[in-house]
Structure 1
Amino acid sequence: MKTGGAVGIAALIGAVPGIPRADAATAGTALAERPETAAGRFGAMSCAQALATTYADLVGLREEQAKALASGFGLGMGRKQTCGALTVALMLSGLAGKGDACASLMDAFEKEMGSTQCAFFVDQFGYSRCRDLLRFVSRQLNERAFG
C-alpha cells in the first residue's frame, strides 16, 4: 500500500507533527470583518480559495494549505455544479466540528440565492454576483459554525 498520498493529505491538514498549522495573516481577525476579507480576496484567487484562506486560522490550517485544498472548487464543484464557496463553507463547518450545521447552511444559501448551482449564477449574472455570494456564505459561517 502506498503511503505517499496519505502522508500528503495529513501534511495538508496539519496532522503531521512539526508542521505549523495556522498563519498569522488572518489570526485574530474579528468574525464580523471576514465577509469583507473574503470578498476582497476574490479575483486574486477563486471564490473557494478566498473563503478557505479567510477562515484557515479558525480550523488550524495555514493559508497556503487552505488555498491548495480549495483549488479545485473555483467555478463550482465539478465545473459549474455546487457553488465552490458553498462547498468550502461546508468543509470549514466540518473542520470546525459543526458538521450538523451543513444542512441549514445549504438551505439558507439556496433560499437567499435561489440555487446552490454555480451554473445558475454564471448564466444569470456572470461573475458579478460572486462577491455577494462570498459575503453571504461568510456571514452564515460566522453564525452557524464559528459564532
Structure 2
Amino acid sequence: MPSDVGPKLGVGVVVCNTAGDILLGRRIKAGEPESWCLPGGRVEPGESFDRAARRELQEETGIDLAPQRFAPFALLRGDVHGTAWLTAGVRADAGDRRPVVTEPHNFSRWEWFAADALPAELFPASRQLLAVRAGAQPSDCHAYRLGRVGE
C-alpha cells in the first residue's frame, strides 16, 4: 500500500514569548494564498509530536528550545487546501528568544502578536489550533484536546 494513502501528519507550534505574545510567520509558499502561520510542518516517520515541533521550530525560525519546553495540547482532523491532515498542536515557551527567517522561500518575516490581536488571514490549521487553545471548537475540523487547554 502506498505511504501517501490517508491523511498527512503534521504539527503546529504555538510559541509564546515572555509577554505571552504568539509567534506567527508571514507564509509566502508558492501556489498558496499568503497567510500568517504558526511554525510547523510534517511529522517525519518515527518522530513524536514534540520532537517534530522542536525540529520544525528550529528549522523555520532558528529558535532551538530544550525538549521539555514542548507540550502537545490538541489533535485536529481536517482539510488544508484539499488535503486531509491530522495536525498536533504543541505549546512552547520561547522566553526572550528572537526568530529569524531561515526559509525565505516559505516565510517573509516572523512577528509576535497579542492573543487578542491576531491577524485575520491565518493559515487554516493555525487558525484552528489557536481557536482550540482559546477554548473554542472550530466548525471546520474535528478537534481533540490533549491535556489541559491553554497551558
Decide which structure has greater helix share. Answer: 1
- The alignment's TM-score, normalised by the length of structure 2, stands at 0.30
Q: Which has the higher contact order (CA 8 A, sep 6+)?
A: 2
